[in-house]
């Protein structure tokens, strides 16, 4: 029996299955970017992934479950980058700036995934509620940094939605503009956006 004639082992089958799962996740990204999330269908995703709809339902109970896993798959790529090199003993401003710089780097490293994540964040009903909540919880170390800044009298005491509005939202908006023009965030973009975020969140200093 030649190598090509040997039957697949369980390990081979699992490897092939993982390939199909990754193909489905990439298909979700492709369809969302090319057809829009409003036109997302199981048939389109299966066709783009090169699998049958019946095969898709072997892996996922329904479309929302599949989108939830695709969302977490994107978060698994981006979120670990956020706190890379961040030292909790460092000055609050240094931690604050590094987290935002890391986020900008992640958007540049994964531009397509970043665009799809923005869609998911704007339309949380696309994924199961518990999955979306779990994904958002991964950014909790940022809350620790912010609360440390508040307790030290460095940062303004703001509601979480305002913190996001002053920090990640501007980066996302410019990253989206750059993506649509087939470019990435420049060093000038990132420096200006981080400075603006810091000025917006910093507690006014008494004269």
Task: Tell which residue, 79, 50, 176, 60, has the closest CA to residue 127.
Answer: 60
Domain boundaries, the chain: 1-59, 78-207
Q: What is the pLDDT of residues 89-111, one digit of tens each?
A: 999 999 999 999 999 999 999 99
Per-residue pLDDT, 13: 41
Cβ distance 58 to 13 under 8 Å? no
DSSP 25: H
**Which of 4-13, 85-94, 103-112 has the lowest average pLDDT?**
4-13
Question: What is the pTM for the complete model shown?
Answer: 0.85
CATH of domain 1-59: 1.10.10.60
Q: How confident is the model at residue 204 (pLDDT cuts 50, 70, 90)?
A: confident
Q: Is the pLDDT reported for residue 8 higher than 70?
A: no
* Arithmetic mean of pLDDT, 180-199: 96
Q: Which residue has the higher pLDDT, 95 or 160?
A: 95
Q: Does domain 78-207 have CATH number 2.30.60.10?
A: no
Would 1-59 and 78-207 be classified into the same CATH topology? no
β-strand partners of 202: 155
Cβ distance 67 to 28 under 8 Å? yes
As a whole number of angstroms, the distance between CA 32 and CA 143 comes to 30
């Amino acid at each position: 029996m030649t190598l090509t004639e040997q039957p697949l082992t369980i390990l081979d089958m699992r490897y092939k299955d993982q390939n199909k799962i990754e193909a489905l996740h990439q298909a979700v990204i492709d369809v969302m970017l090319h057809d829009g999330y409003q036109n997302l269908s199981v048939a389109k995703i299966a066709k783009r992934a090169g699998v049958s709809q019946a095969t898709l339902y072997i892996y996922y109970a329904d479309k929302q479950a599949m989108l939830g896993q695709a969302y977490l798959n994107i978060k698994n790529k981006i979120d670990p980058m956020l706190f890379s090199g961040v030292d909790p003993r460092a000055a609050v401003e240094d931690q604050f700036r590094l987290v935002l710089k890391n986020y900008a780097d992640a958007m540049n490293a994964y531009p397509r995934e970043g665009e799809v994540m923005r869609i998911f964040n704007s339309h949380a009903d696309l994924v199961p509620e518990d999955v979306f909540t779990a994904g958002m919880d991964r950014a909790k170390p940022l809350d620790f940094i912010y609360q440390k800044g508040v307790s030290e009298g460095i940062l303004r005491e703001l509601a979480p939605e305002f913190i996001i509005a002053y920090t990640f939202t501007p980066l996302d908006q410019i990253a989206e503009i750059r993506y649509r023009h087939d470019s990435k965030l420049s060093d000038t973009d990132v420096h200006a956006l981080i400075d603006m975020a810091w000025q917006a969140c910093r507690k006014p200093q008494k004269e």
